[in-house]
Structure 1
Amino acid sequence: MVIVINPHAHGGTGLKRWRAIAPGVRERWPYECIIPETADEARTQVAEAASRGTGVIIAGGGDGCVNLVLNTIMDPETDAPRWSVAIGALGLGSSNDFHKPRLPDNDVGGVPIKLDPLLGGLVDVGRADWLDPDGEPHTSYFLLNSSLGATAKGNYAFNQASGVQAWLKKVNTNLAIQWGSAAAILQFANVPARMEIDGHPVEIPAISNLGVIKRVYFCGGMRYDTPVRDDDGYFDVNLLAGMDRVGFLTAISAISAGKFLGQPGARHWRAKHVRVIPEQPTVLELDGEVYPVKEVSWRVIPKAVRVCG
């Protein structure tokens, strides 16, 4: 088992949080620990560990760290892992949606963990192919969810935090997330776009928020009430469209309580492939990581990777 620590997680407190629980982890599992300073270093070291036969790689950080490990091991040419590796996690980050719903005994020192490959299994992976504003193609994978619209913009604000929000990320993650959400609502604007579901055009108003999801938890405190499972071979496609700021705020408040279906302006599909072409470039979010795009398509890769429980 190799644990890769993101020292910059949780507003720069990731390494401190790791050192507080490292002895407790060592009591239960033998491991090798690597602490890269940059994302590029992390990718290189994860690939080196996997190529020498490491069977379990643990992402010690937030959901973005899990996403980095996933994208390091996945091969876009085959949509399969390059190496036989199970992905686990230590929830040292901000949202830690990968760990939800949290199990009462799955923690060390209050930090949620998924370290045992025998308690996990094979899960679906989402693949996103997009064009950046210059028309260059990109591919990335995700385990949890992807979004366009307000959620993506809120994640962008959270990732680019400065001033008060940067301070809040260190001392109170939930308040920092709420601060970013408030900023996204203040800057709220619908995204006019064309949309296809499983190859069929869908008439929609402008996108207020679009979730293409494999897990119902997102943004730390949000939860959809749609039926997706991590191994069912489908996305849940959850759309809020044509809303004004007040209507969107009302819908988000309901989603915070786990109530999406039935909200005014809400639509839901089960799908294996989704495509969106915005009228103007916007931002795409994948497991909390945000990218500028002018077109994006998503598809499900069934039971592609093994995760720990």
Structure 2
Amino acid sequence: MHTLLLINEAANNGSAARKWTSIASHVLARLPAETDVISFRPGFDLDALLSARLTTNEPHTLLSAGGDGSMHYLLNSLMRVRGEAQTNIFLGGIGLGSSNDFHKPIQQTIQGIPIRLDATNTIRADVGRVRYERLDGRVETRYFLINASLGITAQANHLFNEGDWLIRKMKNRFISLTINYTAMKTILLYRDQPVYLGINDDPAEALQLTNLNLLKNPHVSGSFWYNQPILPDDGQFGLNYCHDLTLPETLRLMMDLQHGRFAGQPKRVSAFVRTIHVQADKELPLEMDGEIVLTHQLTIDLLPHAIQLLK
């Protein structure tokens, strides 16, 4: 089996390179001696690299050292190069990012950094597929492993990625504080968005959307999580959305999600689904595994057991 380790040195606002240096020898000791190690920064042509390396149907292990966005980058490059029918490809990772939701619940670490490197213990996981349209008519497709979101969660991720002056100053040193500050600022400035939401084959309903999370992993945005029994390979999404929340209700939502509580409160809906459709009058941030695109219309469905993941 060929092993390729991809290190995104720009992850976690540039601190990933330092984290990698601190554990490099320990990681490499666990990997095959012939492992190829490639460090990169934004602008790197990953599609070209994978096209050159994945020329046979022999087994390949691809390891992403970075944050959730780095794994998202690798997954989408792989789908573009090899298509949606992935065979003999195994994905693993090293969590050098700020949230590292891909690794949760964390099972193995090296010096406190989460890892998924065990090629003897794998799972064939589902992949979320997003087809989204821009206001200029462009239609694009993205894929995700962890979750997708609209509303406050997506807006907070958008703010966290873009950063104001305080976020940029704090992000490298005080990640938990930065996440909480970003969440609070987003809550205070956010206004519910009018959308049409369709679930599975049901007709779309109009609602004032406060937040929507579509889960393949119950962990979202750092310390927030849902106590919903969703698994990587169960062939369904966990849908959790809320609407028409007042400011006190939104603050209660954020506090509840720090303890995994969501269902059972007014204006909150929790279900298991295979497809959702969303339409809005203006472009909204759509978050997928921590990465943001802007869209006014989207469909999300499931590719069951589409990729093999290391544990």
Note whether the superposition's TM-score is higher than 0.5: yes
TM-score class normalised by the smaller sequence: over 0.9
CA distance in 2, matches of 1:67, 1:159: 15
1:67 to 69, 72, 75: 72
The alignment status of 1:274 with 2:276, answered yes or no, reads: yes
Whether the 8 Å CA contact 1:43–1:68 is kept in 2: the answer is no
Q: TM-score, normalised by structure 2?
A: 0.93
| CA apart distance, 1:14 | 0.8
CA distance, structure 2, for counterparts of residue 296 and residue 143 of structure 1: 17
Q: Which residue of 1 aligns with 2:294?
A: 292
Within the candidate set 118, 121, 132, 1:119 is matched to: 121
Q: For 1:92-111, what aligned pairs fall within 5 Å after superposition?
A: 92-103=96-107, 106-111=108-113
Residue identity matched to 1:156: H
Match 1:38 to one of 36, 42, 49:
42
Q: d(CA) in 2 for partners of 1:170 and 1:67? A: 21
Aligned length: 306
Q: Distance in 2 between matches of 1:46 and 1:37?
A: 16
| Alignment partners' CA distance in 2, 1:51 and 1:188 | 47
Give 2:238's aligned amino acid.
Answer: D
- Considering only aligned residues, what root-mean-square deviation do their CA atoms show, in Å? 1.7
> Which of 86, 92, 97 is the matching residue for 2:90?
86
Q: Would you say the 8 A contact 1:283–1:292 is kept in 2?
A: yes
Q: Does the aligned pair in 2 maintain the 1:133–1:292 contact within 8 Å?
A: no
AA aligned opposite 1:256? Q
Task: Supply the AA of the counterpart residue of 2:144.
Answer: F
Q: Which amino acid aligns with 2:188?
A: L
Task: Give the conservation status (yes or no) of the 8 Å contact 2:47–2:78.
Answer: no
Unmatched 5+ stretches in structure 1: none
Q: Is the 8 A contact 1:4 1:46 kept in 2?
A: no
Paired letter, 2:257: I
- 8 Å contact 1:47–1:72 — kept in the other structure? no
Looking at structure 2, the residues matched to 148 and 114 of structure 1 have their Cα atoms a distance apart, in angstroms, of 28
Give yes or no for contact 2:47–2:81 (8 Å, CA) kept in 1.
Answer: no
Q: Which residue of 1 aligns with 2:154?
A: 152
- Provide TM-score, normalisation by structure 1: 0.94
| Secondary structure class of the residue paired with 1:252 | helix
- Amino acid of the residue matched to residue 94 of structure 1? S
Runs of 5+ unmatched residues, structure 2: none
Contact 1:69–1:87 (8 Å) recurs in 2: no
Q: Structure 1 residues 163, 226: CA separation in 2 closer, same or farther (over 3 Å shift)?
A: same
Q: Quick one: percent identity of the two aligned structures? A: 29
Q: Report the CA distance between 1:254 and its aligned residue.
A: 0.3
Shift of the alpha carbon at 1:48?
3.1
Residue 138 of structure 1 is matched in structure 2 by 140
Question: CA 1:175–1:39 in 2, change beyond 3 Å: closer, same or farther?
Answer: farther
Which stretch of structure 1 is more off in the superposition, 164-173 or 252-261?
164-173
